[in-house]
Amino acid sequence: MLDEGLFRAPRFGAAWAPVALLTVPLAEAVGAGLAGDGADAAARGAARAVMAQLRAARVGGAPGLADPGPAGLGLPARGAVLLLDPGDPARAAAARGLLAALAGRPVLVALDPDAPPGAAPVLAAAGAAVLPGRLAPWTLLDLAAELHTLSPGMALLAGAAGVPVRLDGAAPWGGAAPEAAFAALLAATRWADPFRDRPWTAAEGIAQLEAWRRVEAANRRIVACTGIEWFKHRAMLAALASQSGPPRIVMRGSTALRLARQAGGDAAVWAAVMPRDLPARAAAAGVGLVRIEDGFLRSAGLGVQGARAAALVLDGSGIHYDPSTPSDLERLLAETDFDAALLGRAARLRAAIVAAGVTKYNLTGTAELPPLPPGKRVILVPGQVEDDAAVRQGGSRLRTNLGLLRAVRATNPDAVILFKPHPDVQAGMRRGAVPEAGMLADHVLRDLPIGPLYALAQEVHCLSSLAGFEALLRGLRVVTWGRPFYAGWGLTEDCDPPPRRGRALSLDALVAGALILHQRCIDPRSGLPCPPELLVERLAAPRSAAPAPRVPAPLRALVARWSRAMAGWWAAR
């Protein structure tokens, strides 16, 4: 029988994969290891490193539980004699024995995180304070001056936390040094990459558990979503699922706020259709409002043609394309101390994106690149969807592709201008066609994906297009005519600089903030939250061309506009 032991991964709805497995139960594995020759100095050192990583990551034991910490409960840290109620009638007598040994001492009782699902307390602790509900292991350990438990897993975590522990006398390793017990556990643990068929190290596995813990906790706070178009429902339910299941998707914004208020959680809304008054209504109700949008490494294909987003951004303050309000991303970029390890990771990620030719949509095309005159400066102008929120709210005085082309041509009369229509516009699904483009641009590149075009240009001029960010990754000069999230940090030439920004960032700091810390990636194969490096691998993998849509483009465009309008209309209710 395989067992995750102490290193348990959370579930995201139906999506789950382990990072570590034992071939025998945890207590048996530790007991057998301690009964042998004992761990050498190297094994004990490795055990201490794992214990420290578990403390910092706040993982291990039962996942998906509330982790408010002592401050969130209004209790002092390390002040309680903590007794864990096993929640199992078969173990009630043993638990009462632990309680009897504490007679005359003030005791705090909490349900063991490892209790069976749906378990009720089995201890009647007269005079003891009882914590309500079910709390995460690390909140309980932060409360404990000493721990009394029947749970081998909680006893091990207490050792990692430096909390004195009394484990039931029937346990196989009473009194063993914590690092010796952990060394025995690690000797019996096998680590595996949940995304690729390869072994992992303990450090890699625990780092992934920490990343999953953060995503699962954020998902668990979202009670209800509104403004979600019908064809996105399945993807959103999967992307926002937690150990407790997915949130509800409701049509009316008022319903989402009511459900969130009743549950003490957050509501979420698709940012592009968010009613203007919804943030004020949420604030009045005392409800957090999370804006959701496509991420920066979205998919292999267009969303309007059914490609599911493999990256999302969730923002509790604003949204990255609207400079009128500071977003979580803007604050992150303005305030984060990017350390050398994170910047090195960002540099490697950037190199992988460029080497693989990965872009937001990763489209394919067969048209030939245009011939260009030697010695001429080449400017790439990416078109945008003119009724998209990123254009309407992007802070530019220019609101049309035609206006952008005219401005670029007026300021660069001798340059070779390449105009790339937005793929949604080219597919006939969104507004933004420019019949006059051929009069202002030297080449209108309708049948080529944008990826190969970066190699032709020295500059990219854009309103708020993500193409400007992609061009920065490739070392091109970028001129912004709006106020995209990547403007104002000293990396772009801004025709209308954002007033709040002023910090000078390195390119790798921008990449770290946007692609590693802010963006949430979802593995297209497993459905699990994943690192951006894994998503780049997936998007770069060879794939067959997508089948041609059966529904004509004009009808698909009509349905898409109707769906978007209805989502926004109902969210305002």
Beta partners for residue 3, in sequence order: 22
User: What pLDDT does residue 39 have?
Assistant: 72
Name the band, by pLDDT with cuts 50, 70 and 90, for residue 429.
low
* Dihedral (Cα; 357, 363, 367, 372), 10-degree rounding: -40
What is the percentage of the chain residues whose pLDDT exceeds 70?
A: 88
In the structure encoding, which two tokens stand for residue 7, read together? 């290193």
Q: What pLDDT was estimated at residue 287?
A: 98
Pull the structure tokens for residue 292. Answer: 């959701």
The tokens for 443 are 């080449």
Q: What is the pLDDT of residues 174-227, one digit of tens each?
A: 668 899 999 999 999 999 999 998 999 999 999 999 999 999 999 999 999 999
Q: How many residues does the chain have?
A: 573
What are the tens digits of pLDDT across the range 437-479? 668 899 998 888 899 999 999 999 999 999 999 999 999 999 9
**What pLDDT, on the 0 to 100 scale, is given for residue 542?**
67
Q: Name the 3-class secondary structure at 123.
A: coil
Helices 253-263 and 553-571, packing angle to 10 deg: 50
Q: Between 540 and 572, where is the model more confident?
A: 540
Neighbours of 458 (CB within 10 A): 15
Q: What whole-number distance in Å separates Cα of residue 533 and Cα of residue 451?
A: 18
| C-alpha 341 chain-centroid distance | 19
Q: Work out the angle at residue 176's Cα, subtended by the Cα atoms of residues 174 and 178, and round it to the nearest 5 degrees.
A: 120
Q: What percent of the chain has pLDDT over 90?
A: 69
Judge whether 297 and 310 are in contact, CB under 8 Å: yes
Going by their DSSP bridges, the two strands 165-167 and 443-444 should be labelled as unpaired
Structural contact between residues 328 and 317, judged by C-beta atoms closer than 8 angstroms:
yes
DSSP-assigned beta bridge partners for residue 521 = 311, 530
Check if the beta carbon of residue 468 is closer than 8 Å to that of residue 420.
Answer: no
- CA–CA separation, 404 vs 479, rounded Å? 11
Q: b or e along 56-88 (b: 16 or more beta carbons within 10 Å of the residue's beta carbon)?
A: ebbbbbbbbbebebbeeeebeeeebbbbbbbbb
Residues 82/88/93/97 CA torsion (nearest 10 deg): -10
- CB contact at 8 A, 385 and 464: no
pLDDT in the model for residue 558:
54
Q: Walk me through the domains of the chain, giving residue ranges and CATH numbers.
A: 24-187 (no CATH), 207-336+567-571 (no CATH), 340-521 (3.40.50)
Question: Is the pLDDT reported for residue 8 higher than 70?
Answer: yes
Provide the pairing of β-strand 529-530 with 520-522: antiparallel
Q: pLDDT tens-digit profile of 336-351?
A: 999 999 999 999 999 9
Q: In this predicted structure, which of 262-276, 438-452, 473-487 has the lowest mean pLDDT?
A: 438-452
**Cα separation, 190 vs 229, whole angstroms:** 42
Give the integer Cα–Cα distance in Å for 200 and 495.
48
When pLDDT is cut at 50, 70 and 90, the band that residue 36 belongs to is confident
Q: How many CB atoms lie within 10 A of CB 41?
A: 7
Q: Quote the pLDDT of residue 565.
A: 57
The rounded distance, in Å, linking the Cα atoms of 162 and 116 is 26
Provide the β-strand partners of residue 480: 462, 494
| Token output for 80 | 């309680």
What's the whole-number average pLDDT of the chain? 89
Going across the sheet that includes 378-382, the strands are: 443-444, 416-420, 378-382, 459-462, 477-480, 493-494
The region, left, alpha or beta by phi > 0 then psi within -120 to 50, assigned to residue 222 is: beta
Q: Look at residue 566 in the predicted model and tell me its pLDDT.
A: 63
The single residue listed with the structure tokens 């139906």 is: 14
* DSSP three-state, residue 6: coil
- Report the pLDDT value the prediction gives residue 22, as an integer from 0 to 100: 92
Q: Which residue has the higher pLDDT, 175 or 25?
A: 25
Bridge pairing between strands 165-167 and 189-191: unpaired
* Rounded-to-integer distance, Cα 572 and Cα 568, Å: 6
Rg of the chain in Å (alpha carbons): 27
In the chain, what's the furthest Cα-to-Cα distance?
91
pLDDT at 104: 83
